[in-house]
Chain A
Amino acid sequence: MKLGILFSGGKDSTYSAWLAKEFGYELTCLISIFSKNPESYMFHTPSIKQVKKQAQIMEIPLIIQKTKGEKEEELKDLEKAIQKAIKKYKIEGIVTGAIQSIYQSSRIQKICDKLNLECFNPLWQKNEEEYLAELIQNKFKTILTGVSAYPLDESFLGKEINSEFINELKKISQKYKINPAGEGGEFETFVLNCPLFKKEFNIINKRISSTGENSWKMELEVE
């Protein structure tokens, strides 16, 4: 079955894509939504350029859709992007990286249902600790590019998700009740290497900026 991957360049969408491939599905295209609204409930706000590079290194075509990020408008933009993927690449299903968010997942389910597509959420309800351990075990090299939950601060930006980080996060999440997988928006990630990539990215430039109270992001340039 030909699948379109809702892709942000972070660990959840990349790992879901890899699982789909492992289960024998064809990764036909990536679909990335770039929201002008950094507070979007639906989409992460990755850097377009870097996602393009990830798509190139995986040799999978990329559909880019920009959105203003206004609540219901961004869903229409997502639907538009998926329709493009159906037309151009004949996809028969969508893969998402949804883990816990019923808000995101049920909206995507509704769009897939309307467009007569299968909707796959291979990380759905996955145990967070097990998930992070699996990422490492399956050779995903992922770093933090955004944090927005106390006590995470800018010193976490650029940290790699490895066993040391997982132990640190475990302590923090017990004490401060944050979601260790970061899907509650506590942190955002960027995948530098994984089994889908032909080679590993190097960071050649980074810029850290504050995006609000207790919230920072790091814009990357990779090659």
Chain B
Amino acid sequence: MILIINICEERLHYLEFVKLKPIEDILRKEKIEYQTIYYKKITDKELLNKKLNKIIICGTSLKDKEYLENLDYFKWIKFPKLKGPAGSSLWDKPILGICGGMQILSLIFGGVLVENKEIGQIKIKFEKEFLNFKPSFNEVYLLHNYAVINSEFEVFANSHELEIPQAIKHKTKSIYGVLFHPEVRNKELISYFCRNV
């Protein structure tokens, strides 16, 4: 079961960033079981659900910056409250952060937020294979105000000229982040994460 975390402050954005083709539709089509929850409502019940095997943190709109003020709600990513097998099993769950979700993952592990507004479709270069993206140029859709820099993560793709990390993975954990929105032009990335990671 995949836990989808919604970080949208405005209810209507749920349709744009979580509900429709964005993420839930992709999983429904692939017949993958999922549960969606607003980030402030996550409790141990969802995190310790025995069926849970992966987590996706979705993005939100340009104007919505609330999640950046509320990073404490994501402490469980780095410090599962529970000790023993339950805590350590949560520790090992693969997580994919999309846009705002990637920012959250990086910041929780001590990353730095840098202003970087990018809107629209651009080509980025994957230096190494990343979630089945072969090393090459790929068209991706961007919609964000900030990028993140964190030496605990390895960078797999940068925006062409600006050297802004667009695809990252934690050096020791199964934690992935993409600053672009794969649900728009690169849906296969989400299917691959859910099926094969």
Contacts and interface: CB of A to CB of B under 8 A. Distances in A.
B63 A117 contact: yes
Interface string A97-108: 000001000100
B124 to A, nearest CB: 15
Given A113-B119, A117-B63, A126 B20 contact: yes
Given A102-B120, A119-B63, A23 B20 contact: no
A103 to B, nearest CB: 9
Given A23-B12, A102-B121, A118-B10, A125 B62 contact: no
B117 interface: yes
Contacts of B21: 124-127
B25 interface: yes
Contacts of A23: 11-12, 15
A127 B15 CA distance: 12
A116 B63 contact: yes
B82 interface: no
Interface in B47-85: 61-64
A109 interface: yes
Nearest to A116: B63
B120 A127 contact: no
A6 B55 CA distance: 35
A86 interface: no
Q: Which of B25, B64, B119 has the most CB of A within 10 A?
A: B119
Contacts of B177: none
Contacts of A120: 10, 12-13, 16, 61
B15 A118 contact: no
Interface string A18-31: 01100111000000
B143 interface: yes
A112 B142 CA distance: 15
A71 interface: no
A110 B118 CA distance: 10
Nearest to A100: B184
Contact of A127 (B25, B61, B141, B143): B25
22 contacts: A1-B10, A93-B10, A102-B184, A106-B119, A106-B121, A109-B143, A112-B63, A113-B62, A113-B63, A113-B117, A118-B10, A118-B64, A119-B62, A120-B10, A121-B16, A123-B15, A124-B21, A124-B22, A125-B22, A125-B25, A126-B21, A127-B20
Given A19-B12, A109-B62, A113-B62, 20 more contacts: A19-B15, A23-B15, A102-B121, A106-B120, A106-B143, A109-B120, A112-B62, A113-B117, A119-B62, A120-B10, A120-B12, A120-B61, A122-B16, A123-B15, A124-B15, A124-B16, A124-B20, A125-B20, A125-B21, A127-B21
Interface of A: 1, 19-20, 23-25, 93, 95, 102, 106, 109-110, 112-113, 116-127
